[in-house]
Structure 1
């Protein structure tokens, strides 16, 4: 078993596995936030490079499964139907990634966290914000580009995507599937990049592989809850999780 510990003690490894199990459950139920939950805890119990390596394969494999849960035709339909959002996200990542060393991470987290928190709390107050059909194409480009710019700089592109899906009132299955498609693309880029940087190496790769098991176990349990949630409750819990995610980004921005 030591081979899979990544240099951690057995106790710390099992804590990481339990955190991953919970993060996978949340992802299965709502569709996002797994890496944010994992990093929030991992950063306090292990070196940052190992923390990042630990989540990479879990993010990649769970999003592959999430995006293909309804079959290849549904995956293809979502990828084509949201091609503007996906394309703009990729372009945003390509534009911003070279500037990551020049912009303070705490500033970025604050600039993302504040508007996302305001959006989620406003929606939770019972005043829905919807994008008119005639503006959808433009909104896909704008929010996709914003998601990509933040993804390239801070590794976080989920909240703008979730905001768009909530604003067009996408149904539950479509919301989760589209998130999976977009996060799969990001996870693939992340994994490829860090095979090159050395973050994924002979020590950290087995650790990352080991965490795939609790990630999947949690996600499969979360799917059961997702299937039972009616659309109103699903939307509400998505907004609650989005608000908590944004508030955590603000916390990191202010306190580091």
Structure 2
């Protein structure tokens, strides 16, 4: 256990805890962005593969909490309605996670930064795809594959899932419960995928487990305070911060 924490000096460990707490707070307040914040924030100072290892268990526990808050009956209905998309996300997370260790460090910064910037920019632009009933099944295949690849490599499949549900004109009251199921099951696959890839191992899993504490504290505070401020303004401000951090990751990847 002590060897695990030697992977990060005390100052970097405190930094990682703070970033994770912020990510948990935002997720509790607005329901998204914990992995994006952890990747773009921790990636400023911490080696990319270690960042991915650190996010696995907080994401798993955080998404499990989101499923429980939404209720089990809506969760079962979400699985029945979206089983194709969910299956593809899970399969592709397992597959793409195995390629993470073969990506050079500089390339890894780009792999993490590009999805952060692109997905946040799409949400800020307010783009909302529209899919007719006849195109739903092909769209499910494409969207599920893309989301799963991003999930395995960068640990984030939330924003593509939001766009997928918007394209299907999913009612807002159902969207949160469906997202919870997709995020929750995907998190299990992320755990299994990185146990297999070796990213989550005897040295890194204690660090990931330690990040659960600030993540859960942040989510608890986010649940408590989320209704006290303008949700849309807070969401947009979060996305802008993520874009800046994502651009910095890309810069590091391209310039070394």
Shorter-chain-normalised TM-score: which range? 0.7 to 0.9
2:122 aligned with 1:119:
yes
Partner of 2:249: 252
Q: Is the 8 A contact 2:97 2:197 kept in 1?
A: no
Q: TM-score, normalised by structure 1?
A: 0.75
Partner of 1:176: 176
Q: TM-score, normalised by structure 2?
A: 0.75
Instruction: Indicate how the Cα distance of structure 1 residues 165 and 206 shifts in structure 2: closer, same or farther if over 3 A, else same.
Output: same
Q: Structure 2: how far apart are the matches of 1:208 and 1:93?
A: 18
Q: Is the 8 A contact 2:67 2:177 kept in 1?
A: yes
Partner of 1:60: 60
Q: Structure 1: how far apart are the matches of 2:210 and 2:110?
A: 34
Instruction: Indicate how the Cα distance of structure 1 residues 163 and 245 shifts in structure 2: closer, same or farther if over 3 A, else same.
Output: farther
Gaps of 5+ in 1: none
Q: Is the 8 A contact 2:67 2:180 kept in 1?
A: yes
Instruction: Indicate how the Cα distance of structure 1 residues 109 and 45 shifts in structure 2: closer, same or farther if over 3 A, else same.
Output: closer
2:130 partner SS: coil
Alignment of 1:12-161 (within 5 A): 12-93=12-93, 96=96, 101=102, 105=108, 112=115, 116=119, 119-123=122-126, 129=128, 131-132=130-131, 134=133, 135-161=135-161
Q: Structure 1: how far apart are the matches of 2:3 and 2:214?
A: 13
Q: Is the 8 A contact 2:48 2:108 kept in 1?
A: no
What is the CA deviation profile of residues 132-164 of structure 1, one whole-angstrom value per residue up to 9, with x for unaligned ones? 552444433332222123334444322211222
Count of residues in correspondence between the two structures: 248
Q: CA deviation at 1:212?
A: 0.9
